[in-house]
Structure 1
C-alpha cells in the first residue's frame, strides 16, 4: 500500500497546538480526511481522526458527550459529568488508525514532509490550499466520461436513498405499521 497524496490545510491563527489538518490518499483510491498535525514536545506529530465518546442519560437515555454536566435532552445533572474530572476516562476514540508501528511511521513521515512543504508554499504569493479541492482526478474522469453518442437521451429518475412512507403513515419504534425488515428499516 502506497501513500499517493497528502493534502494539508494550515491553521495559522490557532491558539492551541493544532498546526494543520490533512488528508491522505492510499493507492490513488482511498482517502482519509481530518488527520491533525499537532505541535508536540519533540516536534509536530500526526493525530488520527477521532470522535468524541458519548454516554446515556440516567433519566431519559439520551446520548450526551462524556463528562457533560447536564443532559442535552432533559437537563438532568449527569453523574461524573461536572467537567472538572481529570480522571483517566477516555474522551475520544480514533475513527481510523494504523494497526502497526511501521504503518504509523510511514504515515507520520509522509504527512510531516508534506506539512513542511506546505509551510514553504504558504510563503509564496497567491498561495491556495488544495485541502478542500475535489479528490477526483480530472484526467481519469475525462477519460472515463462517455462520449455523446453513448449517453442515453433521457436518464430515469434516481431511486430514493431511504425507505419512504406514504404520507399520513406514522412510524413506531416497535410493531404497528413499521414491521419492515429491510435494511435500514426503523432507523428514523
Structure 2
C-alpha cells in the first residue's frame, strides 16, 4: 500500500482538532475526514467516524494492523508539519439544501 497523496486543511484552534486530512492510496482510493488531534501526549490521527444509535462513535474506515496505522499516522503528521499555516474556519456553515433529481444521490 502506498499513500500517493495527502491533503491537509488546518483548522482554527477551537478545541483539540488541528486539521482535517484526505489521503489517496495507490492513486485509486481516497479516504476523507481523517482528523489531526492534539492530545495530552502530542498529535495523533482519528479516522473518519459516525455516531451510532447508542451514542458511541464508530470508525467508518480504519487500518486493521498496527504497522499500517503507524504508516498512516507518520505520513499524515509529516504532511501536517509541512503544510502552510493557513487555516480554515471549521465551524458549521448554513447552506441551502441541494436540489434532488438528476445527478443527486438522494
TM-score (normalised: structure 2): 0.78
Aligned match of 1:97: 62
> Root-mean-square deviation (CA), in Å?
1.9
* Mapped partners of 2:80, 2:87: distance in 1: 14
* Mapped partners of 2:39, 2:87: distance in 1: 26
* Mapped partners of 2:50, 2:87: distance in 1: 28
For the pair shown, which has the larger CA radius of gyration, 1 or 2?
1
Aligned match of 2:45: 46
Specify every segment of 5 or more residues in structure 2 that has no aligned partner in the other structure, as ranges. 89-101
Three-state SS of the structure 2 residue aligned to 1:16 is coil
Structural mapping, 1:1-188, within 5 Å: 1-12=1-12, 14-54=13-53, 66=55, 91-118=56-83, 121-122=84-85
Structure number with the bigger relative contact order (C-alpha 8 A, sep ≥ 6) is 2
Deviation at 1:30, TM superposition (A): 0.4
Deviation at 1:128, TM superposition (A): 8.6
* Mapped partners of 1:128, 1:19: distance in 2: 9
Count of aligned residue pairs for this structure pair: 90
The structure in which a higher percent of residues are strand is 2
Three-state SS of the structure 1 residue aligned to 2:63 is coil
Deviation at 1:34, TM superposition (A): 0.1
Runs of 4+ aligned structure 1 residues displaced above 2 Å come to none
Deviation at 1:110, TM superposition (A): 0.2
Specify every segment of 5 or more residues in structure 1 that has no aligned partner in the other structure, as ranges. 56-65, 67-90, 130-159, 162-188
* Mapped partners of 1:42, 1:28: distance in 2: 32
Contact kept? 2:33, 2:48, Cα under 8 Å:
yes
